[in-house]
Structure 1
Amino acid sequence: MTSSLVRGRPRHAKAHIRVRVAHALLGVVAGAGWLAIPVLAAQEPATASPPHTTAAPAAPRDDESSAVDLILPVAVLGTAGVVAAYSYVRRGRRTSGAVSAAPAASTPAESDRRARAALVAADDSVRASEEELPFVAALLDERTLAPFRQAVHTARTELSAAFALWHRYEEGEPRDPGDRRQALAGVVGRCAEAGRVLDARSGELDRLRRTETGPALAVAEGAFRRLTARAAGARATAAEVRERYGPSVGARVAGCAEEAMDRLVFATARLNEARRAADSGDEGRAVRQLRAAEGSVAQAGILVAGVDRTARRLRKAAALVPAALTGAEAVLAEARATGTPVPSGADDTLAAVRTELTAGPYDPLDALRRITRALVRLPGARSGVLDTAADLVARAAVGETEDFVAVHRGAVGADPRSLLATAVRTLAAPHPVEAAVLARRALELADRDIRTHGIPESDTGGTAGAVLGGVLLGEEPDGGPPAAFGGPETRGRLRPGAD
C-alpha cells in the first residue's frame, strides 16, 4: 500500500504549479487592463464632445499624458512576465534536480550479480549460525536457546524460498522482463530477511556468551579432544575404503580425512590462544580465538562424520548391487513382454555392472546410480529394491555435496548452492534419481569454483584451509575475523578493535 505521504506529494506539487500559473495570468490580465484604460479614455471624449477647431495646441499634453499613463501598466506587465518566467525556471530546476538525483535503473547483469551475492552471503550466514549453535547448546538451557534456534529456522526457510525463486529464474521463468526483475528483487528480499532475523539475535547471543567464556572454552576443548580421536579413526577408515573399493573412492574419502586434520591443527592453535587470552583477562581476544576454534572443530566434525557415513553407505550399496541387478533385469523383461519401449543402452549398462562385480574393486554407489538411471523411465523402476537403491544413491550424493559446500563455502558460488538446494527439494518430492543427478552436478560446479578460486597452499597453522572453509572471513592477511552467529551485517563483528 502506498502511504498517504507519498500519495499526497504529486497533488501538492501540481497545486503549486496551478497557483503560479494563475498568478502569472492574473498579472498579464491586469497589465492588459492598464494598457486599455488610456485607449478607452482617448476614445470617450471623441464621442461625447463636439469637434474642436483648435486641436494643435493640445497635442503635446495628450502625448505626454499617454506616455505617463503607459508607464504603470507596462511595469505591471513586465513584472508579471518576470514572475512567470522565474516560476517556470525554478520548477524546471527542481524537476531537473529530481531526475538527476534518482538512481539509475540496474541493468539485468547488475541485478543478476546482486542476487548471486545475496544468496552466497545469506547461505554463509545461515551455515555459520548453525555451526555455532551446538556449542551454545552445551551452555544454555533449551528455553533460553529456543529464540536462536527459531531464528536459524526462519532464516533457513527464507533462504530456501530464495533459492527456489532463483532456480525458476535460471530455468527461464518468468519470461516477461518486468516479472524477471521482480523475481530477482524477490531473491534479494528473501535473503535480506534471512540475514535480518539472524542479525536481530546476534547481540543477545553475544551477551549470553560473554558471561560464559570460561565454560565455553572448556566445552570447545572437550569437543576438540573427542574429535581428534575420531579423526585418527577416519584415516584408518579411508585406507580400508581404498583397499576395498578402489583408488578413486579411497582418494575422495582420504581427502576428507586430511582436511579434517587440517582443521584440527588450526583449532589447536586457536584454542591455545584463547586460553592464554582468557587467563590474561583479554576477553575480546579470547572470544575471537574461541569462535575461530569452534568453527574449525565444527567443520572437522562434518568431515569426519562424512568419512564414516560414506563407508557405511558403500557397504550397504555393495550388498544391494546384486539384488538391484536382478530387479533391473526383471523390469526390462516385463517391459519387453508388455511392448513397452526399453531405454537405449540399458542392457549394456547392466552387463557392464555385472562385469565389474567380478573384475576387482569398484564403486558400488556408482554402480547403483547407473542401474537406476538406466531404468528410470520404466514403470517398475520405482518399486522394491530399485527404489531402495535410488534413495540410497540420492542421499549419498546430496550428503557428499552438502558436506563439500559446507567446508569450502569461502570459495563456492551461487550456482552449486542453488543446485544443491534444488536437489534437496527434489529428493523430498520424492524423485531420488533426479535428485542424485542434480547433486552430482552441484558437486562438479563447487569443485570448479574452488579450482578457479585457487586451492590454498598447505600452511603449518591451517589458516588457509580455515579461510577456504569460511571459518575465517578472509578480510585481512591473517585470515580476518571469525564468522559468528548472525546475518551479513553482524557475522563479521568479532574483529580486533570492535570490542
Structure 2
Amino acid sequence: MTSSLVRGRPRHATAHIRVRVAHALVGAVAGAGWLAIPVLTAQEPATASPPRTTAAPAAPRDDESSAVDLILPVAVLGTAGVVAAYSYVRRGRRASGVVPSAPAAPAPAESDRRARAALVEADDSVRASEEELPFAAALLDERTLASFRHAIHTARTELSAAFALWHQSGDRGQALAGVVGRCAEAGRVLDARAGELDRLRWAQVGPALEVAEGAFRRLTARAAGARATVTELRERYGPSVGARVAGCVEEAMDRLVFATARLNEARRAADLGEQGQAVRQLRAAEGSVAQAGILVTGVDRTARRLREAAALVPAALTGAEAVLATAAPAPSGADDTLAAVRTELTAGPYDPLDALRRITRALARLPGARSGVLDTAADLVARAAVGEAEDFIAVHRGAIGADPRSLLATAVRTLAAPHPVEAAVLARRALELSERDVRTHGLPESDTGRFRTG
C-alpha cells in the first residue's frame, strides 16, 4: 500500500531528499576530519627542523592521548546530529503531507450562511437605492439620472439571478457560490455609482431638505385620507379587511412621526453648518418617508383591487360552477368551496379577494380554469398577494431573512410564467414567513438606507 507521504509528494522529491541527506552526512564527516587535522599534525615528529638546544618541557603524554581520543566522539556526535536533524525534517514533512495544498472548502452550513447573508444584504441595497431615487429625481434632471437608473436595473437583474440560483437543484455548492458572486456584482454596480450620486445630491443640503419636507407634507395628507379609506373598507368588506388595512395606516403614521424628528434634527444641523450630521438625519427621514409612502400606496392599491374583485366574484363563481359540472372526476372539496362562497355573497360583508382565491384554487387543476373569467380572477389574486408580500418585506426588511425574500422572488417569476395560482400560494407563504420573522426579531427603529448600503 502506498503511504500518505508518497501520495502527497511527487516521487522525484523523495530522491532529492535522499541526495541532500547524503550530502549532509558526508559534510559532517568531512567537518569532523577537518577538526581533527591539527591534533593529528601535532602528533607527527618535526623532521624538517633541526633539534633545538633548549626545548620547552614536553607536554605530558596523557594530554596527547586525550586529544587523539576526542577525534572519534566528535565525528560520531556530528553524524548523530545530522541524522537527528534529518529525522526531524522528515517527520515535519510527513505531518505536512496530510494537509491539502489548497484551502479547505467551507462546510455546507457555512456556505449556506454566507449565501443567505449575501442575499439579504444585496436585497436591502437594491431596495434602499430604489427608495432613494425619487428624492434624487426631484433635484436632478432625467439625463443625469439615467446612469443611476441603469445601475439599479442592473443590480436588480443580478439579484434576481441570485434568487433563481438559490433554488437551483444539482450541485448545491456551486449554486451557493453563484449566489454570493451575483450578490457581490449587484453591490459592486451600486457602489460604482454611489459616490457620484452623493456628490450631486449633497452639494447643498438645503435643496435636498426642502424636497424631503415637501414629500413629508404630501404624504401626511395622503395618510389622513387613508384613514377614511380604512373606515370605508371595513364597512363594505368586513372587519378582517378593515383590520389589515388599518394596520398599514398605523404603521405609516409611526414612520411619519419618526421622519418628523429626523427632519427637525436635519434642519437644526443644517442651520449650524453641520453638513455631515444634516445628511445623516436627512437620509433617515427619507427612508421613513419612503416606507410610509409604500404603506399608504398599498392601502390605496388594496382598495382598488377589492373593488375589482367584488365585481368579478359573481361571474367567476358562475364560470367555476360551469367548469365543475363538466369535470370528471371533480376535485375533492370543490363543490363545498363554491357553495360556501355563494353563501357569503348573500350573508353580508365578505373579502372578495379571498373569495376569488378559494374559487381559483379549488379548480386549479382543471383545464377550464385557465381561460376566460377564471384566468382573470387568478391573475388578480396573484398580483394582490405578490403586492402585499412585497410591501411588507420592503417596510420590515430589517427583521426579515433570506427565505421570505427568496419565496417572493420565486412568486414573481412564477406569475410571469404565467402560473398565477401557484404564484399566489408562494406569495402568501412569503408573507407568512415575513410576519414570523418580525414576530421573532421585532421591528427595528427605522429601516433606512442609501443608494448602496454597507
Q: TM-score range by the shorter chain?
A: 0.7 to 0.9
Q: How does 1:14-53 map to 2 (within 5 A)?
A: 19-26=16-23
What residue identity is the alignment partner of 1:485? F
Pick from 331, 355, 378 the counterpart of residue 367 of structure 1: 355
Is structure 2 residue 364 aligned with structure 1 residue 398?
no
1:268 is aligned, of 250, 260, 263, to 260
Corresponding residue of 2:332: 344
Q: Which residue of 1 aligns with 2:151?
A: 151
Deviation at 1:204, TM superposition (A): 2.2
AA matched with 1:484: R
Q: Partner of 1:37 in structure 2?
A: none
* In 1: Cα distance, 2:12 partner to 2:201 partner: 58
AA at the equivalent of 1:375: L
Equivalent residues in 2 for 1:95-174 (5 A)? 95=96, 99=99, 105-168=105-168, 173-174=169-170
Of residues 251, 255, 258, the one that matches 2:247 is: 255
The 5 A counterparts of 1:280-359 are 280-335=272-327, 340-359=328-347
Tell me how many residue pairs correspond in the alignment: 414
Give the distance between the partners of 1:387 and 1:231, measured in 2 at CA: 34
* TM-score normalized with structure 1 length: 0.75
> Which range is displaced more, 414-423 or 81-90?
81-90
CA shift digits 1:247-297 (9 cap, x unpaired): 000100111111111111111111121112111111011101111111111
Please list, as runs of the form range in 1=range in 2, the aligned pairs for 1:155-304 lying within 5 A after superposition: 155-168=155-168, 173-174=169-170, 179-304=171-296
In the TM superposition, residue 91 of structure 1 has moved relative to its aligned partner by: 4.7
Q: CA separation in 1, counterparts of 2:144 and 2:12?
A: 57
Secondary structure of the 2:398 match is: coil
Residues of 2 paired with 1:163 and 1:22: CA distance? Answer: 57
* Correspondence for 2:52: none
Question: Residues 116 and 327 of structure 1: is their aligned pair in 2 closer, same or farther, counting only changes over 3 Å?
Answer: same
Give the Cα separation in 2 of the matches to 1:69 and 1:218. Answer: 97
CA distance in 2, matches of 1:72, 1:302: 89
For 1:69 and 1:233, the matched residues in 2 are separated by 108
What code does the residue aligned with 1:378 have? L
The residue aligned with 2:90 is 88
Q: Distance in 2 between matches of 1:268 and 1:288?
A: 14
Q: Quick one: distance in 1 between partners of 2:279 and 2:28?
A: 81
Which whole-Å CA distance do the structure 1 matches of 2:77 and 2:253 have between them? Answer: 93
Once the two structures are TM-superposed, the CA of residue 68 in structure 1 deviates from its matched residue by 11
Whether the 8 Å contact between 2:316 and 2:373 is mirrored in structure 1 is yes
Query: Displacement of 1:184 after TM fit?
Result: 2.0
C-alpha displacement of 1:408 = 0.7
SS state at 2:190 partner: helix
Task: Name the SS for the 1:120 alignment partner.
Answer: helix
The AA in structure 2 aligned to 1:271 is: L
Identity across the alignment (%): 76
Which runs of 5 or more structure 1 residues have no equivalent in the other structure? Answer: 1-9, 35-65, 457-463, 472-482, 489-499
Q: State the distance in 2 between where 1:106 and 1:222 align.
A: 50
Q: Does structure 1 conserve the Cα–Cα contact (< 8 Å) formed by 2:128 and 2:453?
A: no
* TM-aligned CA deviation for residue 15 of structure 1: 7.8
Structure 2: distance between partners of 1:82 and 1:236: 91
Structure 1: distance between partners of 2:181 and 2:18: 44
Contact 1:129 1:484 in 2 (8 A): yes
What residue is the counterpart of 1:476 in the other structure? none
The 1:72/1:224 distance shift into structure 2, 3 A limit, reads closer
Contact 2:202 2:208 in 1 (8 A): no
Residue deviations 1:325-384 (CA, integer Å, cap 9, x gap)? 11111212232xxxx321111111111111000000000000000111111111111111
Tell me the secondary structure at the aligned position of residue 399 of structure 2. Answer: coil
Segments of 5+ residues of structure 2 without an aligned counterpart are: 1-7, 32-67
Distance between the aligned counterparts of 2:182 and 2:85, measured in 1? 52
Residue 318 of structure 1 contacts residue 365 of structure 1 at CA under 8 Å; is this kept in 2?
A: yes
Q: 1:121 to 1:27 in 2, by over 3 A?
A: closer
- Identify if the C-alpha distance between structure 1 residues 281 and 342 changes in structure 2 by more than 3 Å, giving closer, same or farther: same
Q: Within 1, Cα distance between the matches of 2:18 and 2:216?
A: 79
Are 1:427 and 2:422 an aligned pair?
no
CA apart distance, 1:200: 2.6
Structure 2 SS opposite 1:397: helix
How far 1:69 moved relative to its partner?
Answer: 11
Contact kept in structure 2, 1:20 and 1:84, CA below 8 Å:
no
User: Which deviations, in whole Å up to 9, do the C-alpha atoms of 1:73-98 show, x marking residues without a partner?
Assistant: 979866764664465366568x38x9
CA contact (8 A) 1:194 1:487 kept: no
Counterpart in the other structure of 1:46: none
Partner of residue 385, structure 1: 373
